[in-house]
Amino acid sequence: MPRLHLRPVQFVDSPVGYPDGAVARLAGGMLWFAAYELIEDGARRTLPLADCAALLRDDPRAAELHARITGARAPLTLGNRTLRFEQPLVAGIVNVTPDSFSEGCARHDDPAAAAEAALAMIEAGAALIDLGGESTRPGAPLVWEGEEAKRVVPVIERLRASAAPISIDTRKAMVMEAALAAGAHCVNDVSALLWDDRAIDVVVRAGCPVILMHSPDPKKGPHGEPAYGNVLIDVFDWLDARVAAVVAAGVPRERILVDPGIGFGKSLADNLALLNGLALFHGIGCPIMLGASRKRMIGALGNAAPVDQRLGGSIALAVKGASLGAQLLRVHDVPETVQALAVWRGLQDQALVQP
């Protein structure tokens, strides 16, 4: 049976000057929108919010989606710090692997240097450190869980005294347990807690937040063999169902974030569709993490730029995510992204008060 989907569109600089009901605030954040794109059974049409009263009154699914899209996201307490999602935040990537997608080779066997790099990211404005001990680039070998834990735990122990919020980027239950025991605060799983059968129990017992990322076949690996009908709707529905399953297992929805998995089992066209349609994912009712930093799509669009020359493209994608309401931007280049978002926010703030 076809399901209705709502994508916020027609973003406006400020609600000032619009009649009641003509615009709505997106996820309790800095953005306002004036219409929905209604997507159902492949058909699309745009409906101004001012004309949505009957739809929201008569269609329970539309009402639920609207409530999720406009509802404020609950803050997350991570150790001594609280993440609030009224504006986009930055998560800094620290990889302690010898074969990382883009960096980390110089630090994979030096926990002190990795911790220093993480603290520099916090000082530069990162709200969260996303620490990983296994590369998830295409073709990367599987790392034994004991080795992966050995890589990340000493870094977490060094960061613990700083009270830096840490998410552990892993799909292995044993690594989650070791990292959380060492002082990590959150789990970021590219398999959405599906690769390791014990993973969901670990998260439930720990009572920690979790980031659920989409990939086509998490049991086989993060890249899989994609077979999408409509990639935007398929990924939304998959994540929506996965969030429901994790909530049913005992994790409160307020402690779940979602990630559409840019670059994981997606073509360039798929990635572009997901980025352009990112506002749809607010209908899940959870904060959105966007991880597009230094991804291959930047090289594909930007004159075959190698990984270390993708800063401009990474900034462009981060600002695109912020402009569609992504609450957490996972990046390698923290100072540059923080600066770009500060300028973006300055523009937004001025638009709100402009006469």
Q: Catalytic positions, please?
A: 295, 330
CA distance 66 to 33: 12
Give me 290's structure tokens.
């966007």
In the numeric block, the tokens 């009402």 are attached to 63
Judge whether 327 and 85 are in contact, CB under 8 Å. yes
Single-letter amino acid, residue 221:
G
CA angle 201, 204, 207 (to 5 degrees): 145
In the numeric block, the tokens 């840019």 are attached to 262
Four-residue CA torsion sign, 313, 316, 322, 323: negative
Secondary structure (DSSP) of 7-44? EEEEEES-STTPPTTS-EESTTSS-EEEEEEEEETTEE
Judge whether 122 and 164 are in contact, CB under 8 Å. yes
CA distance 350 to 355: 10
Single-letter amino acid, residue 41:
D
Single-letter amino acid, residue 339:
Q
Give me 99's structure tokens.
């074969």
Phi and psi at 220, nearest 5°, equal -90, -25
CA angle 88, 300, 189 (to 5 degrees): 45
- Cα distance between the two ends of the chain: 47
> What 8-state DSSP symbol labels residue 210?
E
* Neighbouring-strand partners of residue 236: none
* Neighbouring-strand partners of residue 95: 132
111-123 vs 145-160: helix crossing angle, rounded to 10: 50
Secondary structure (DSSP) of 245-261? HHHHHT--GGGEEEE--
